[in-house]
Amino acid sequence: MDYLAVKTLHVSCVVISISLFGLCGLLQLQSKPWRQWWLLRVAPHIIDTVLLGAALWLVWRSGQYPFVQGWLTAKVLALLLYIGLGMRALGRNTPPAQRPSYFAAALLSVSYIVGVALTRSPSWGLF
């Protein structure tokens, strides 16, 4: 498979995944029953699986690995934080008063991930 095609697939999945998270988060904050819609329940899992598969293929093909490359390590650690915050933001058991904070923190963490990806620097090239 062509590297550029997989990278384009990866970036496309990133945009779709973040957009779906943002949509679900906004609907959650408005107390809308977004879980009733099959597409919003299932599509994120499919997109994120393709995203992860493309990421693993890119890591293997490029020979750049987390815990070897600092910027990839930062992305993986921030991804774990994003997943945890996102789960709390969209969680059924999260008190409604706490959801906006978790949602904002998840968006900040995913913004950091995108910044690291674009600059290939854990500090976004600022240091």
Neighbours of 39 (CB within 10 A): 9
Rounded to whole angstroms, what are the CA distances from 77 to 42, 45, 73, 121?
25, 20, 6, 14
Look over the chain and give the mean of its residue pLDDT values, rounded to a whole number. Answer: 95
Question: For 59-104, how does the pLDDT look when each residue is reduced to its tens digit (9 = 90+)?
Answer: 999 999 888 999 999 999 999 999 999 999 999 999 999 999 999 9
Helix or strand run (H / E) with residue 31: none
Alpha-carbon span 58 to 54, nearest angstrom: 6
Alpha-carbon span 75 to 112, nearest angstrom: 8
pTM of the model: 0.92
- Is pLDDT at 127 greater than 90 in this prediction? no
Question: For 16-68, how does the pLDDT look when each residue is reduced to its tens digit (9 = 90+)?
Answer: 999 999 999 999 999 999 999 999 999 999 999 999 999 999 999 999 988 89
Can you say whether the dihedral through the CA atoms of 40, 46, 48, 54 is positive or negative?
negative
Give the domain ranges of the chain.
Answer: 3-119
**What was the pLDDT predicted at 125?**
79
65, two tokens: 């690995």
